[in-house]
C-alpha cells in the first residue's frame, strides 16, 4: 500500500510476541519519504498515551550466492 504525501496508516500489531513489541505499527509518508511507525500504549499521570518510534523501512539482507564447486580436472596442474 502506497501512502499519499504526508499520510499513513497504522494497524494493531497482530504479531506481538513480547512486551517490548509495539502495540500498533504501520507506514507513513513524511515529506515524500516512506517511514515505518511503531506505537506503544503507555500509562502516565494524566492517563494513557501513545509512545511513538519512526524508522527507515526494513530491508532484508541480500542472501549471498552459493559458491560453485570447482572440479580438480579444471586445473592444468
pLDDT value for 52: 97
For residue 54, the model assigns a pLDDT of 95
30 part of a folded domain: yes
Residue 38 lies in a domain: yes
pLDDT, position 2 = 79
Cα(25)–Cα(10) distance, rounded to whole angstroms? Answer: 5
* Order of strands, sheet of 33-44, starting from the edge strand that comes earlier in the sequence: 8-12, 24-30, 33-44, 47-55
User: Would 2 be classed as within a structural domain?
Assistant: yes
53 belongs to a structural domain? yes
Per-residue pLDDT of the chain (77 residues; tens, 9 = 90+): 678 999 999 999 999 999 999 999 999 999 999 999 999 999 999 999 999 999 999 888 887 766 666 566 665 65
The answer to the question of residue 77 being in a domain is no
DSSP state at residue 74: G
Q: Is residue 34 part of a domain?
A: yes
Name the pTM for this structure. 0.72
* Res 20: pLDDT: 95
Amino acid at each position: 500500500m502506497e501512502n499519499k504525501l504526508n499520510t499513513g496508516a497504522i494497524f494493531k500489531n497482530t504479531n506481538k510476541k513480547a512486551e517490548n513489541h509495539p502495540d500498533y505499527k504501520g507506514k507513513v509518508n513524511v515529506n515524500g519519504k516512506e517511514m515505518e511507525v511503531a506505537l506503544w500504549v503507555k500509562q502516565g499521570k494524566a492517563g494513557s498515551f501513545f509512545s511513538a518510534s519512526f524508522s527507515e523501512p526494513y530491508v532484508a539482507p541480500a542472501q549471498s550466492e552459493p559458491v560453485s564447486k570447482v572440479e580438480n580436472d579444471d586445473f592444468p596442474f
